[in-house]
Amino acid sequence: MKRVAAIHDISGFGKCSLTVAIPILSAAGLEVCPMPTAVLSTHTGGFDGFTYRDLTQDLIPFAEHWQSLGIEFAAIYTGFLGSAEQINIVAEIIDKLAGKDTLIVIDPVMGDYGKLYKIFDKNMSDNMDKLARRADILIPNMTEAAFILKEEYKEAPYTDEYIRHVATSLSDMGPAKIVLTGVGFDEEHLGAVCYDKETGEIKYHFSEKIEGIFHGTGDVFASILLAAVLNNKTLDEATKLAVELTYESIVETQKTKKPTREGVDFEKILPRLIAEVL
Ligand code: PXL
């Protein structure tokens, strides 16, 4: 069984980060070892008064214990990090835990729609490029890509030329593979792009665009992508599956008419994920 170290926060309510990554990766037949970066009562999008317990001081001892046990990981998967300091620490943890075949998958969670999430500041975005460089697969949305490149954020619709510029510039920093999310060329479709530096190939996958801000969909997308890649799908196949199943999760959620801050019902797509990857 392949093992994944999942380095994200855990938010008790609102379905994101570890409460999304663990079930998706487990359903796909992968062993998940969570390393929580922080414990929150809810995620930070759309809730006030959430609790926030920062676990920065625990991360290195956590990793050193795993290291002392000689645990080997097929992948290290990082997402929401609570501070600029945690970015440097997670880079150090990757050095400690990665073997020569460990896949480093980094979702540089920082913001969306051109803005940083509530608890982040410029110090955080200025540092994220240091971690992004370490990725084998980097999965930013278009906002995070702009912050990492220290370029101005551009709103969709995009041109092929701009998307190619963003993907190749990010990969020039280090990562062999880039998957950009939140890409649209028109008002009706939204999807993702995968770029492989080795082949120079860029592939697009779209679904119908659903208006609204759906919390946790970045985590659903990245977790499905990793689940598929570790089950030997190509990056292109994994990106296509992640676009389709993230879209289906939103469609399922919309049927319930619940507030979008409560996250998406990715649980409903787990049977299809299992059928596709196992
Ligand atoms: O889904 C990204 C995410 C993860 N974790 C926390 C968040 C967010 C986005 O708002 O607040 C705590």
Domain spans, the chain: 3-273
Query: Sign of dihedral through CA atoms 107, 63, 176, 275?
Result: negative
Domain 3-273 part of CATH 3.40.1190.20: yes
Confidence of residue 121 (pLDDT cuts 50, 70, 90): confident
Q: For residue range 56-86, list pLDDT tens digits in order.
A: 999 999 999 999 999 999 999 999 998 899 9
Q: How confident is the model at residue 174 (pLDDT cuts 50, 70, 90)?
A: very high
Indicate if ligand 1 lies below 6 Å from the C-beta of 17.
yes
- For a mutational test of ligand 1's pocket, the pick from 16, 24, 77, 214, i.e. the residue with the most ligand atoms closer than 8 A to its C-beta, is 16
117 Cα: distance to centroid of ligand 1 (angstroms): 8
From 8, 80, 81, mutation site for ligand 1 pocket: most ligand atoms within 8 A of C-beta: 80
- The predicted structure's pLDDT at residue 83: 87
CA atoms within 13 A on the CB side of 36: 16
Task: Cis check for the bond before 36: say yes or no (omega within 30 of 0).
Answer: no
- The stretch 243-251 carries a mean pLDDT of 98
- Six token digits for residue 108: 């540089």
pLDDT > 90: percent of the chain: 95
What is the residue with the minimal CA distance to atom 1 of ligand 1?
Answer: 216
214 lines ligand 1 (CB under 6 A): no
pTM of the model: 0.98
DSSP state of 105: E
Q: How confident is the model at residue 82, as a pLDDT?
A: 84
Which ligand 1 atom is the nearest neighbour of the CA of 20? Answer: 1
Q: Which of 19, 51, 109 to mutate for ligand 1's pocket (most ligand atoms within 8 Å of CB)? A: 109
- Distances, alpha carbon 233 to alpha carbons 169, 174, 193, 201, 240, in Å: 25, 22, 16, 16, 10
